[in-house]
Structure 1
């Protein structure tokens, strides 16, 4: 049976919750299907997140890893294409660290790409009536850091998905999804990965800027 590891992050930047972990934890709790889903909560820490990720992989021996994080300024679920080899923090992490222009791996590749079928996932989300797109930048904070580390691990299908702020964080933003919608979106994404075989959809996912 295929084992899928989902990760989300603890709260940061003064927020009381992090929707990435809320959605992951709830999906794993409610999941029923032909695969085993397990979850791990990662610290918002440049030093600690990799250790927590690697410990979860060592514990669960997953076939697929889908890491998630919060992109509060985005609309919809964004499926990341590429991680870049740099930490450049606009705000401190939860340990107070704020690296600027520091390589994640001194001798690492400039970039590493998702091995998930990113366009298939986006198409499945659209088919479920959910707002979603391919993202070509995972930022330069801890999300990108974890994504870059993850894509350097052999033998896994893996990638990163950003979720938007929910109504709990977005206040009076009428367009913000609730947690139930995020859970539904992650379920669709997982099911799309599990059902996918062969090459990804050859459809445009690019942007002009």
Structure 2
């Protein structure tokens, strides 16, 4: 079973493309014969992890891909690492602004994604979708959920998981805006490609996709 998640809108936005993309990708995968479900997460520290934990308990997935919006990024970002740090530059949707707090008290400094990020990168590029391996998921609710997911999956051997950041969709931007965006159809297909490549890959590719800074 495959679990996809996206977020509700945050930061004054009226929409967050991670949720319609996750929901549509789950439908696309079901049409291909795969058992897939999508769950919307609140953009709230603590509560987002609790909703995710309930979904893990209910669905018992073998693969979990959480998605979030990274407005301004030009590509699908396959996140490599989640860090044990909440440091909010803006309040979450409940008004919380944690600064320099651990996601999990006493937890390890970081967790790596268990998705084959290099194979997923190659598959996305082959599909004509701009993509990258990202070395930071930030310190807001996206990283909070990513870390919470990987912390939970340590007790679920055999279940793989990770986080994908997606750009804006065009409808969020004024006409002619230079800010990068991707059509919702591309965002949807990108999440489905990550699922397909993960299911087809047991050992990740060894190709360069690092960062100089």
Q: TM-score, normalised by structure 2?
A: 0.94
Q: What is the 5 A alignment of 1:121-136?
A: 121-136=120-135
Give the corresponding residue for 1:149.
148
For 2:16, which of 8, 15, 18 is the aligned residue? 18
Q: What is the 5 A alignment of 1:111-190?
A: 111-152=110-151, 153=153, 154=155, 155=157, 156-171=159-174, 172-173=176-177, 175-190=180-195
1:121 to partner: Cα distance? 0.4
Residue ranges of structure 2 left out of the alignment (5+ in a row): none
Residue ranges of structure 1 left out of the alignment (5+ in a row): none
Distance in 2 (CA, whole Å) between partners of 1:186 and 1:106 is 31
Distance in 2 (CA, whole Å) between partners of 1:54 and 1:38 is 14
Q: List per-residue Cα deviations over 1:166-185 (Å, max 9, x = no partner).
A: 10112333652111111111
Q: What is the 5 A alignment of 1:1-209?
A: 3-31=1-29, 32-152=31-151, 153=153, 154=155, 155=157, 156-171=159-174, 172-173=176-177, 175-197=180-202, 199-209=203-213
Moved over 4 A (4+): none
Q: TM-score, normalised by structure 1?
A: 0.95
Q: How many residues matched? A: 206
Distance in 1 (CA, whole Å) between partners of 2:105 and 2:26 is 35
